[in-house]
Chains A and B, each alone.
Chain A
Amino acid sequence: MIKYIEKETFLHRVNPISKLVVLFTFAYSLFFFNSWLVQILALLLVLFLYTISGIGVSKIEGKKFFIVFSLTLFIINILFIREGQILLNYSIVRITMDGIEFAIFSVTRFLAIVFSSFLFVMTTEPNKLAYSLMQSGLPYRYGFTLVVALRFVPTFQFETGNVRNAQAARGLSVDKMSVKTLYKMARYTFIPLIRSTMQYIDTLTVSMEGRCFGIYEKRTYIEEVNYEKKDLAILSMSLIYIIGFFYQRFGQNFL
């Protein structure tokens, strides 16, 4: 599973908010470049960051998924885009330069966004992210929903395992595959989990209200999230980048 890896690197030390802004800016701007070359450069840049951050490309999981997904996306695009310089024309199959360019274009864009997201996750402590969001203006009552949601992730992972064992113990299995079985699997997994969830909701509400959650509009924090010079620099660079972008895109209508 992709999750936070504790290390002392530059990327780890950057304030989570700055990092999130950069990630958003990066992903967002990829949708404005219509050149496949830029997308490849972006993907290479992300992979390069893996190397210098000391995380290493090998930490990317689910390689099988990405290979299958990318190949399929690639093939579909090649087969269905029929305009442009023709490279191969054999019965109904026609491979064109445009097709290949567009195929590379959409695959690399997808991978660049996902891999940069993974890098963010592996270098950012979720707890710190949530607390930073709240200290940067997100109302804390909403911010804590993220903390609570993250808090229960391991609990529910464990419980999902339990439920699936209990299903097996009573003879429910996917040996016979059919749409009906799948419906049953979903139903018999969701309902028991929701049932135990209801108890958590009641207990947690009492526990949080019992400790004055929501009494004032603001609250204090024991750990202050610091913005260093480099964070401010990163934030302003992202901002300039985005403004420049908008100007280019909408002000002058050409790229």
Chain B
Amino acid sequence: MKKKSLSRSNKKYYFSTKDLVTMAIISSLGGVLSTYVGYLGNLINRFFGVPFGAGQFMSGLHMFWIIFAIGLLNKKGAGTFVGILKGFVEFLSGGKLGLFVILLSGIQGLIADLSFLPFKKDSTTGYVIAGGLSTAANVFIFQLFFAPYEALPLFVTISVIALISGVIFAGLFPKGVVELFKTKPEEGDKKINLKKGITIGIIVIFALGATSYYLTMPLGREGIDISGNVENSYVYYPSNFRDQEITVNAELIGDYTHIEAKDYSGVPLKYILEKSNPIGDKITIIAKDLYQVNFSIEEIYENHEIIIKEDYGSFNLVAKGYEGGYWIRDIVSIEVD
């Protein structure tokens, strides 16, 4: 072995060995106790007589470890690190969410890290906001991937429960515990002001409640924005056009995909456009992934068989007679030029 050629790493590591060991041990303990937190959650579910949901009262305890690590180490990135590592521990010890938990807790850790950024290290507000936000995020992420809370009122209720749980169990609780275990020399007794903490908590809950309500509005009702050079910009909702639905039989011929002729039901794009009284003569249809295609108003008006079909809240264009590239998916807006 050519030992002399080895470069001794002189640079100071960002995370010292002690930091790494601390994060590893906290993740391990957090992973092990996630079963216990689940057990407490089940007790609540049973108490309220529901199969799941009320357990969100305890969901802040899953985030406790991430916030605790951030508070103890006071280094950026500690939250994400512990989030991912704790996810790995839960995944490998057979957690009920499988692989998904790594993603979930990693994102939660990142959110916690980011929420802490604007605050001083000992700021109670920082703990409360990071704890509340990152805990509530679990409901959002879950909804995004598995859509268990399909109804808006249910979704909002669960999110608020998670938020409250986060403020208490992932905000105030770790703040107190960090103070208990900080090995740094004591600087007088800086007790957390519980009243102040709760006041901040309530304000945060209201603020976030309002924002999340606004943000999740489209969740229950998806629509397409119709705007640009029109007299009347509006949002298209299929429920307002139910009686204008037609069925067309079309065949898709793409470069790589081919789908035999079959029936599609939807609302002709013509009617949708007409309602906005377009002034321009060209339209651009834009998808969620920013893919876009252009048509002239004229061709749309002449062709009744270009329809917009709704699939589980997303909108797809069935462009009969056009090649595959025009059959655009996940439409979010239509702009008129």
Contacts and interface: CB of A to CB of B under 8 A. Distances in A.
Given A114-B99, A120-B99, A183-B168, 10 more contacts: A76-B148, A118-B94, A148-B21, A185-B40, A193-B29, A193-B33, A197-B26, A252-B254, A252-B325, A253-B329
A184 B99 CA distance: 31
B100 A254 contact: no
Contact of A118 (B7, B24, B27, B98): B98
A142 B81 CA distance: 9
Interface string B8-43: 110001010110111111111101110011001001
Given A80-B151, A113-B100, A186 B58 contact: yes
Contacts of A189: 33, 36
Number of chain B interface residues as a range: 35 or more
Contacts of B183: 198
Given A113-B98, A121-B94, A179-B57, A254 B151 contact: no
B91 A80 contact: no
Interface in B304-337: 310-312, 314, 324-325, 327-329
Contacts of B15: 141
Contacts of A213: 17
Contact of A177 (B29, B43, B151): B43
B158 to A, nearest CB: 11
A185 B15 CA distance: 33
B289 A250 contact: yes
A48 interface: no
Nearest to A99: B150
Contacts of A153: 28, 31-32, 89, 93
A162 interface: no
A187 interface: yes
Contacts of B327: 253-254
A137 interface: no
B44 interface: yes
B117 interface: no
Interface in B145-160: 145-151, 154
B181 A198 contact: yes
B279 interface: no
B173 interface: yes
Contacts of A237: none
Contacts, number: 220
B92 interface: yes
B51 A186 contact: no
A149 B257 contact: no
Contacts of B154: 76, 80
Interface in B81-116: 81, 85-86, 88-89, 91-94, 96-100
A110 B146 contact: yes
A141 B168 CA distance: 34
A115 B85 CA distance: 21
A76 B143 CA distance: 13
A117 B99 contact: yes
A27 B21 CA distance: 31
Interface string A73-90: 100110111010000000
A181 B181 CA distance: 24
B264 interface: no
Which of B22, B324, B327 is the most central at the interface, judged by chain A CB atoms within 10 Å of its CB? Answer: B22
A23 interface: yes
Closest 10 CB pairs of A and B: A2-B94, A117-B98, A114-B98, A148-B24, A145-B24, A149-B28, A156-B32, A152-B28, A80-B151, A80-B150
Which size bracket describes the interface of A in this complex? Answer: 35 or more
Nearest to A26: B99
A250 B329 CA distance: 10
A153 B181 CA distance: 22
Given A198-B181, A254-B324, A121 B91 contact: yes
A205 interface: yes
Interface string A44-76: 000000000000000001100110110111001
A65 B287 CA distance: 38
Contacts of B206: none
B28 A150 contact: yes
A223 interface: no
A182 B44 contact: yes
Given A109-B146, A145-B24, A182-B44, A201 B85 contact: no
Contact of B291 (A185, A247, A250): A250
B180 A191 contact: yes
B214 interface: no
Contacts of B100: 27, 113-114, 117
A153 B29 CA distance: 7
Interface stretch (A7-15, A214-222, A224-232): A214-222
A100 to B, nearest CB: 12
Nearest to B42: A65
Contacts of A208: 17, 21
Nearest to B316: A254
Interface in A20-45: 23-24, 27, 31, 34
Contact of A2 (B43, B93, B99, B148): B93
